[in-house]
């Protein structure tokens, strides 16, 4: 493909700011257009990319342009299916932010459109590009802890209200469940590091803190109780009351996963904790590795024995990196460009995007129906 690769972005606020990494000094890629329904974001987009950049409120005008090679879909989750399919059918390469869609059927529809298009497609799993998880993946692949048999992941989502309950994320109609919205990263890390996909799930959860009897149209800035609110807003674009009637996605979930190869995994998340942290623990036949958060050290404890490799435990000091999401954003943005230029297989595959959503969807279905065990539907045969 010729350079620069010309990229258009649908949804240029929030996660859409990753597009700044595609305005490259080396000339390999350039951002030539953007679509968003919010004028403020369009103004910021034009200010960063220049007055010549094309911008519109209608995403269809963007993907119809002949001067665009690839589309980045970084809009709200419930739009991913529509926008990704339309871009692929228009002959564009596509970068789609996670989660791939909010239903399994939506994911499979995207996969079919990708197959028919013959274009490149990447899912925005930026955690696959974080140094912490690259170190853990290498430890696992090198067999340091032996054959992985158990995984425990805890996600303390401090500021869960500002992230998810003061805006559109708080309803099943828009997000299905935070098991797939927020949890898709963690579920994918379990899949990626073990090298196995989930076969069946069982889950429990509830809406314990957020939601309530406040009017759905109540804006935090107009609320008489703002000074005493147990979860005041801090993001200027997320000002819906977190205790409104329509809120119906759980804020505390526990998910058990049965993976291929007999691996068992547990994933827990809570949206109203006072702190923000992730804790990963992988247990194998030779030892276990653990990270206390997504930056810092990885600790490996080895089972006792007399073999040379059993005589010491190990600590891996993970080096820090510049850029958003622990340095992952510039790397994943570059990987997308390299995929288009060289055909290089991306670290984050479309199938991986589908499988993490499938686990989240079935987990939500399980917890809403008496914690029943459920099978994960297989993807299309050609995608396996």
pLDDT digit string, tens, across residues 327-355:
899 999 999 999 999 999 889 899 999 99
What are the pLDDT digits (tens) for 6-35? 999 999 988 888 999 999 989 999 999 999
Torsion from C-alpha of 220, 224, 230, 231, nearest 10 degrees: 10
H helices of the chain, in order, are: 39-49, 59-63, 80-89, 104-117, 131-141, 160, 172-175, 178-181, 183-194, 324-342, 350-367
CATH superfamily for domain 128-324+354-383: Dihydrodipicolinate Reductase; domain 2 (3.30.360.10)
Residue-level pLDDT at 294: 83
Query: Would you give the distance in Å from CA 169 to the centre of its chain?
Result: 14
Indicate the average pLDDT of the chain.
Answer: 94
DSSP SS3 for 197: coil
Q: What are the start and end residues of each CATH 3.40.50.720 domain in the chain?
A: 5-124+329-347
What are the pLDDT digits (tens) for 246-264? 999 999 999 999 999 999 9
DSSP 8-state code for residue 344: P
Q: What are the start and end residues of each CATH 3.30.360.10 domain in the chain?
A: 128-324+354-383
CA atoms within 13 A on the CB side of 199: 8
DSSP SS3 for 132: helix
Q: What stretch of H or E contains 277?
A: strand 276-284
H helices of 118-234, in order, are: 131-141, 160, 172-175, 178-181, 183-194
Average pLDDT over residues 182-197: 97
What is the CATH code for 5-124+329-347? 3.40.50.720
Quote the pTM value: 0.95
Q: Which two tokens stand for residue 13?
A: 């606020």
């Amino acid at each position: 493909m010729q350079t620069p690769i010309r990229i258009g972005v649908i949804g240029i606020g929030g996660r859409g700011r990753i597009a700044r990494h595609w305005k490259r000094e080396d000339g390999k890629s350039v951002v030539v257009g953007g679509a968003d329904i919010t004028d403020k974001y369009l103004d910021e987009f034009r200010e960063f990319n220049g007055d010549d950049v094309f911008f519109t409120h209608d995403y269809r005008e963007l993907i119809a342009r002949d001067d665009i090679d690839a589309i980045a879909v970084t809009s709200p989750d419930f739009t991913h299916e529509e926008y990704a399919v339309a871009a692929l059918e228009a002959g564009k390469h596509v970068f789609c932010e996670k989660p791939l869609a909010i239903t399994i059927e939506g994911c499979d529809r995207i996969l079919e459109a990708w197959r028919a298009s013959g274009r490149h497609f990447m899912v925005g799993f930026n955690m696959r590009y974080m140094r912490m998880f690259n170190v853990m993946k290498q430890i696992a692949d090198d067999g340091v802890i032996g054959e992985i048999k158990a995984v425990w992941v805890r996600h303390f989502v401090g500021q869960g209200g500002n992230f998810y309950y003061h805006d559109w994320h708080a309803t099943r109609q828009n997000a299905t469940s935070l098991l797939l919205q927020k949890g898709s990263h963690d579920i994918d890390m379990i899949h990626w590091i073990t090298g196995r996909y989930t076969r069946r799930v069982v889950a429990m959860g509830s809406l314990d803190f957020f939601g309530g009897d406040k009017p759905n149209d109540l804006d935090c800035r107009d609320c008489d109780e703002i000074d005493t609110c147990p979860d005041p807003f801090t993001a200027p674009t997320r000002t819906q009351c977190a205790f409104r009637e329509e809120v119906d996605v759980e804020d505390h979930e526990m998910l058990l996963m049965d993976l291929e190869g007999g691996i068992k995994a547990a994933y827990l998340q809570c949206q109203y904790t006072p702190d923000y942290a992730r804790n990963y623990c992988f247990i194998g036949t030779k030892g276990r590795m653990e990270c206390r958060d997504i930056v810092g050290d990885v600790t490996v404890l080895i089972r006792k024995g007399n073999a040379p490799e059993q005589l010491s435990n190990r600590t891996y000091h993970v080096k820090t990196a510049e850029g958003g999401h622990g340095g992952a954003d510039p790397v994943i943005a570059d990987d997308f460009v390299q995929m288009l230029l060289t055909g290089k297989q991306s670290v984050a595959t479309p199938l991986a995007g589908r499988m993490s959503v499938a686990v989240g969807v079935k987990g939500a279905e399980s917890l809403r129906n008496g914690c029943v065990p459920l099978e994960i539907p297989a993807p299309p045969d050609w995608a396996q």
